[in-house]
């Protein structure tokens, strides 16, 4: 499946994480079919895959404290699965999973990246997992009420988790004013990427025909790899670049670098 960049690019700014869903509003069959097809067909890396589960969602999600912060009412969820034999599994799962989430957003469905607060053994019991695989994250899928609940607002500190650092804080040598438009658009898309506790761990090193993603911050992982977050930003970079007619290929790198998007190399 090729990246439907014209479909996904507008959803980058529109997407918001939601934790409350309307349990009485099922997802239409055509949308479930489209989402399932995306899970099966969007496999850009061999070590990452997505699986849609449409059984009633029970005991999958757990709250931060007791039931506080728990996902509620979702009629379906998607598991993001990685082959742990791959040295780049975290970023591959982040990249792949964000593609599925952008597709769900394009279908007017609500989602929420969940990596630290789900019951792995419950998820694994609902899908076929190979011995070398692990479910690294999941997302609930469904329709959320138009207005955020009080708990959702508290979970997002009344909107502060939607705030993003400016590009100038994320880029090595940010004072360049001669950047190509595709790089400017890609950096803006990358800074809008979701991340665990909105930590925005990514940084970017820019060359004339490439963007290198690296882990900018140290500190706690919060049970979620920073490289998974960077994989999400990688997908945003490529979607925006393609919207400006730029195609390229990702080259995975050793820590603290993550990967480099090289313009002019066919994927």
pTM: 0.91
> How far is Cα 93 from Cα 258, in angstroms, rounded to an integer?
13
10 Å CB burial of residue 124 (0-12, 13-18, 19+) is middle
* CA contacts within 13 A on the Cβ side of 37: 10
- Write down the pLDDT at residue 72: 87
In whole angstroms, give the CA distance from residue 73 to residue 151.
14
Strands (E), 24-154: 48-53, 76-83, 110-111, 133-142
CATH 3.40.109.30 intervals, the chain: 164-263
pLDDT in tens, the chain (267 residues): 899 999 999 999 999 999 899 989 999 999 999 999 999 999 999 999 999 999 766 788 876 544 445 788 899 999 999 999 999 999 999 999 999 999 999 999 999 999 878 888 888 888 999 999 999 999 999 999 875 665 555 555 444 445 788 888 899 875 666 789 999 999 999 999 999 888 999 999 998 899 999 999 877 667 789 999 999 999 999 999 999 999 999 999 999 999 999 997 554
**What does the longest C-alpha to C-alpha distance in the chain come to?**
52
CATH code for the part of the protein at 5-155? 3.40.109.10
Every domain of the chain with CATH number 3.40.109.10 lies at 5-155
Q: What is the pLDDT of residue 179?
A: 83
pLDDT of res. 217: 82
Residues 183 and 204: their CA atoms lie apart, in Å, by 11
What is the predicted pLDDT for the residue at 136? 95
For the four alpha carbons of 100, 21, 134 and 240, in that order, the dihedral sign comes to: positive
Write down the pLDDT at residue 225.
92
**The pLDDT of residue 237:** 98
CATH number of 164-263: 3.40.109.30
């Amino acid at each position: 499946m090729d990246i439907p960049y014209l479909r996904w690019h507008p959803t980058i700014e529109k997407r918001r994480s939601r934790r409350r869903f309307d349990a009485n509003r099922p997802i239409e069959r055509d949308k479930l079919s489209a989402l399932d097809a995306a899970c099966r067909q969007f496999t850009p890396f061999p070590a990452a895959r997505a699986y849609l589960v449409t059984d009633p969602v029970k005991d999958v999600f757990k709250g931060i404290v007791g039931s506080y912060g728990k996902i509620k009412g979702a009629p379906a969820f998607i598991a993001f699965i990685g082959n742990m034999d791959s040295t780049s599994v975290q970023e591959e799962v982040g990249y792949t999973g964000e593609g599925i989430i952008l597709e769900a957003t394009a279908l007017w469905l609500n989602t929420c990246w969940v990596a630290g607060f789900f019951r792995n053994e419950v998820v694994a019991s609902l899908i076929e997992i190979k011995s070398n695989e692990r479910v690294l994250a999941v997302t609930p899928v469904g329709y959320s009420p138009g207005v955020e609940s009080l708990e959702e607002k508290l979970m997002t500190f009344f909107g502060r988790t939607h705030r993003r650092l400016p590009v100038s804080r994320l880029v090595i040598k940010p004072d360049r004013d001669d950047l190509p438009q595709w790089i400017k658009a890609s950096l803006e898309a990358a800074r809008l990427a979701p991340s665990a506790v909105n930590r925005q761990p990514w940084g970017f090193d820019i060359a004339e025909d490439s963007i290198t993603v690296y882990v900018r911050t140290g500190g706690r992982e919060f049970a979620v790899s920073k490289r998974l977050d960077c994989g999400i930003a990688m997908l945003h970079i490529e979607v925006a670049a393609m919207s400006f007619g730029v195609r390229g290929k990702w080259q995975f790198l050793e820590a603290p670098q993550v990967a480099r998007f090289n313009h002019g190399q066919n994927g």
